[in-house]
Structure 1
Amino acid sequence: MTNPDDTRPQGEESPERGDPNLTRASRQQIRQHEILAELSMSALQGAGFEQLLADTARLSAEGLRTEFSKVLEYQPAENRLLVRAGVGWEPGIVGVATIDADLGSPAGFALQTGKPVISNRLQDEQRFRTPDILRRHGVHRAMNVILQGEGRPYGVLEVDSATDERFVEHDVAFLQSAANLLGMALERRQRELNLEAALERHQFLIKEMNHRVKNSLGIVAGLLRLQARGLEDAGFKAELEEAARRVGAVARAHDQLFQTPEVEWLDVGRYIEAICRDLDGSFAGCDIQVEAEPRIVFSTDRAISAALIVNELIANAVKHAHPGAEAGPVRVRVASADENEILISVRDEGDGLPAGFQLGRTRGLGMRIVSALVEQIKGVLTILEHRPGVEFVVTAPREG
């Protein structure tokens, strides 16, 4: 019958089957070496924690030809050992049953002293109490070794048998080797958990920082608006209101970051949609219509720059597209230009550009801000006249 765990090329016999002169003990030792190699590969390949516990219990029993085995996890609060994994036990044992972890039990002695324990005749054992779980299953002999974890013992690896054979020193070496391999995997898992906890803490702190920055910027924007309302000078009042909108646009970025687990990237379409909702309530008579393709992501800094560009272009349309009249509709679009670039456009239906308009020579602060921000995101600004209206189109690489 073919061994399903045998990975040798077809036609090549294992030493166990190929050499009739090998003793049973020699064949068992060969299998033990194969098992340790298998456990090593399983640990290196990152097998799941529960699977690794189950594999260690199963292969330990196989390597020592025992009917029972178990991985015991130390529970310090109760000073007991929980059966975390095992083979051969009746239902209701694994994951439920516990045994004493004091020096009076074989497993407890191995845990407390770090020394392996062999009990070849439990019925005659004078050093330790025989745990009830072993008596109920008719176990005659047991062997326990310590299972080290990250900085402290994890528990004990134990094999048990109802036969009258004997465990020998070589068996201890095999079982301790299996326990050491599992222990290394446990240490790696604990380090991974520590790193995950540190990352979660880091993410929490960044989210909290974004929340506080958003609130602080909201206060600044509110103060600017409050000061603007108390001014009689229309020009100065308008400048303060524009400054408040710019601060509000940056605050909205931190609000978006607070609501998402990702802190280095923003969905630029979703972000610009939120900015436009804020602006729609700021300009009387202005109808801002947004068409944003989802899942276009920018780094946070570039997304903020892109949103500020939109903010300035909408403000420019409101102020200049319909001189002497209420602002009309403004269309904002965020879309993929191709696989390497995105497109952001702001279009109005106003009277068009003034005669002789040249982007590089404009004296207005808003357009100078737009030009600087477009350069910052390594983009290109194109102006299209539609009659009626003007469209400002920014194309920029997805990666800055």
Structure 2
Amino acid sequence: MSVERDPIIEASPDDAAPHLDPELQYRLRQQDLLSQLGVLALRRADFEELLHAATRLVAQGLQCRFCKVLEYLPAKNVFLVRAGVGWGPGVIGVATVGADLESPAGFALKTGKPVISNHLENEKRFRTPSLLAENGIRRAINVILQGDGEPFGVLEVDSRDSDEFLEQDLAFLQGAANILGMAIERRSYQSALEASMARQQLLLHEVNHRVKNSLQLVASLLHLQANAATSEEVRTALNEASSRIVAVGLVHERLYKADDVRTIDLGQYLRDLEQSLSAAAGQCDVRINAPPDVLIETDRAIWIAIIANELVANAAKHAYATSKDCVVDIELQRVGDDEVELRIADHGRGLPEGFNPNTSRGLGMRVVLALAKQLQATFNLQGGRSNGTELLLRFPLRVAA
């Protein structure tokens, strides 16, 4: 091998074993560079950074100044210089090379075989592309970069010196191309997966949007029916049912506007419900105090909203002389890192003497107890005739499996 080389960064003398044959040292250095490239690829480096790093390492491995990754653009039948080292400004990401049989890279792509040309000025198989001629390139070696099913392009090393590329150099270059090929396939799979996930997310948001609209329609129909009812008992029952449906619909509204459909901000959700809770209880004054960023699973947020709905309705119905006098405070607060406490209190006439929620025949209280059990919550209902009624519900943010 000639000692005349393009000026590039070479391995430091400390890296070489002085007792080894220079040719063996050279090949061992190539294997070390392939290992470095493999590590970069496994670390899931940014794809563009990986391509540029690969060209630097390959140039070092073949002791050449010029190296480039040529991406094949089938629509134009050209190669785009996607990454490279040694080239001047206006080349990377801009310059193109013909992909026909008249160029070294095109010859490799069309024949499916690697190409070594140590004397481009005498080459009969293809012409020398203008990019190579303008940079004084005298020899070139390239291999195909395989993509996901179709070739991604070509990995090419070029040199101005009069040395020669050998078959061993081709093995090194093919090793680098194989590593890049796996990274290209992984990138293709990842892009397809991300596109699929984005589509599923879009569909899920659309479903939640439609569910919200459908529930809103049902709630409106129930409300209209309640207004037309002649029985106060029927009117109340229909309004309560409408309020429950609105509570579920508001969750779906939040879900189609959110990035994460698995959890919901419970405090914000309760604040969204404030008007609905008030209207369902005959314009009861519902005052909500809740901190932000209390994230909870979506299904459990619905249960909590329905509990609040039932208790506000009960307060308006039983705690005050008229619903217009009704005032209910709803407070949410964290208890440590893993639990939340919900307090719902009115200021009315309090619970009747001997009231036991566990034996109550009222639908609202039975709903509250059933949902509290689902929440794995501790349930404490208190209230005398002079100081109103207070419910304390403590539950974990996440339910144990």
TM-score, normalised via structure 1 length: 0.94
Rate the CA distance shift 1:107–1:136 in 2: closer, same or farther, 3 A.
Answer: same
Give the alignment of 1:264-275 within 5 angstroms: 264-275=262-273
Q: Is the 8 A contact 2:72 2:79 kept in 1?
A: yes
Instruction: Summarize the Cα distance change of 1:231–1:325 in structure 2 as closer, same or farther, 3 Å threshold.
Output: closer
Output one character per residue of 1:364-389: Cα deviation in whole Å (capped at 9) or x when no partner. Answer: 11111111110111111112337432
Residue type of the alignment partner of 2:365: M
- How far, CA to CA, are the matches of 2:276 and 2:323 in structure 1? 22
Counterpart of 1:392 in structure 2 is: 391
Post-superposition offset of 1:199: 1.1
2:178 partner letter:
N
Which residue number in structure 1 is paired with residue 3 of structure 2? Answer: none
**Which of 254, 260, 263 lines up with 2:261 in the alignment?**
263
Aligned position for 1:35: 33
2:328–2:346 Cα contact (<8 Å) kept: yes
Task: Please report how far the alpha carbon of residue 317 of structure 1 lies from its aligned counterpart in structure 2 after TM superposition.
Answer: 1.4
Confirm or deny: 8 A CA contact 2:282 2:323 kept in the other structure. Answer: no
Aligned mates of 1:220, 1:5 — CA distance in 2: 75
Contact 1:381 1:395 in 2 (8 A): yes
Residue number in structure 2 paired with 1:306: 304
Are residues 244 and 96 of structure 1, via their aligned partners in 2, closer, same or farther at CA, if it must alter by over 3 Å? same
CA distance in 2 between counterparts of 1:113 and 1:288 reads: 77
Mean CA deviation greater in 332-341 or 52-61: 332-341
**In structure 2, C-alpha distance between the alignment counterparts of 1:289 and 1:326, rounded to whole Å:** 14
Name the SS of the counterpart of 2:382 in structure 1: strand
8 Å contact 1:228–1:241 — kept in the other structure? Answer: yes
1:13 and 1:164 mapped to 2: Cα distance? Answer: 28
- Could you tell me which residue of structure 2 aligns to residue 196 of structure 1? 194
Residue range with higher mean Cα deviation, 294-303 or 58-67:
294-303
**2:18 paired residue number:** 18
Take 2:37 and 2:325, find their aligned partners in 1: how far apart are those partners? 72
Q: How many residues are paired up?
A: 390
* In 2: Cα distance, 1:341 partner to 1:4 partner: 60
Backbone CA RMSD of aligned residues: 1.7
- 1:320-351 CA-to-partner distances (Å, cap 9, x unmatched) read 22124623321111111222211111111111
Counterpart check, 1:380 vs 2:392: no
**d(CA) in 2 for partners of 1:385 and 1:141?**
93
Match runs of 1:41-56 below 5 Å: 41-56=39-54
3-state SS of paired residue (1:18): coil
CA contact (8 A) 1:43 1:52 kept: yes
Structure 1 residue aligned with 2:105: 107
Letter in 2 for 1:234: E
Is contact 1:319-1:327 (8 Å) kept?
no
The Cα of 1:34 is off from its aligned counterpart by 0.2
2:169 pairs with one of 168, 171, 190: 171
Task: Find the aligned partners of 1:397 and 1:284 in 2 and give their Cα distance.
Answer: 32
Describe the shift of the 1:52–1:324 C-alpha distance in structure 2 as closer, same or farther (beyond 3 A): closer
Give me the whole-angstrom Cα distance separating, in 2, the residues matched to 1:325 and 1:269.
25
Aligned to 1:361: 359
Instruction: Give the equivalent residue in structure 1 for 2:5.
Output: none
1:230-241 counterparts in 2 under 5 A?
230-241=228-239
**Matched residue, 2:313:** 315
Tell me whether 316-325 or 148-157 shows the greater mean CA deviation: 316-325
Distance 1:93 1:317 in 2: 75
Distance 1:389 1:73, change over 3 A: same
The structure-2 alpha-carbon separation of the partners of 1:301 and 1:108, relative to structure 1 and needing over 3 Å to count, comes to same
Determine if contact 1:321/1:327 at 8 Å carries over to the other structure: no
Q: Residues 178-257 of structure 1: matches in 2 within 5 Å?
A: 178-257=176-255
SS at match of 2:70: strand
Q: Specify whether residues 325 and 178 from structure 1 end up closer, same or farther in structure 2 by C-alpha distance, changes over 3 A only.
A: closer
1:123 and 1:37 mapped to 2: Cα distance?
Answer: 35
Compute the displacement of 1:269 (Å). Answer: 1.4
CA contact (8 A) 1:111 1:156 kept: yes
CA distance in 2, matches of 1:341, 1:51: 45
**2:10 & 2:170 partners in 1: Cα distance?**
26
1:119 partnered with 2:117: yes
Shift of 1:127: 1.0
Deviation at 1:97, TM superposition (A): 0.5
Counterpart residue type for residue 135 of structure 1:
A
Paired with 1:368 and 1:206, the residues of 2 have a C-alpha distance of: 33
Question: Paired residue for 1:133, among 131, 134, 139?
Answer: 131
> Structure 1 residue 290: deviation in Å?
0.9
Paired residue type of 1:68: F
TM-score scaled by structure 2? 0.94
What residue identity is the alignment partner of 1:227? Q
Unaligned runs of 5+ in 1: 7-11
Unaligned ranges ≥5, structure 2: 1-8
Instruction: Pick from 85, 88, 100 the counterpart of residue 86 of structure 2.
Output: 88
Equivalent of residue 155 in structure 2, options 157, 165, 176: 157
SS of residue paired to 1:77: coil
The equivalent residue for 1:9 is: none
C-alpha spacing 1:162/1:293, structure 2 compared with 1 (3 Å) = same
> Is 240-249 or 386-395 further displaced after alignment?
386-395
Instruction: Check whether the contact 2:239–2:280 (CA below 8 A) recurs between aligned residues.
Output: no
Q: Secondary structure at the match of 1:295?
A: coil
1:237 CA drift (Å): 1.1
Between the aligned partners of 1:325 and 1:300, the Cα distance in structure 2 is 31
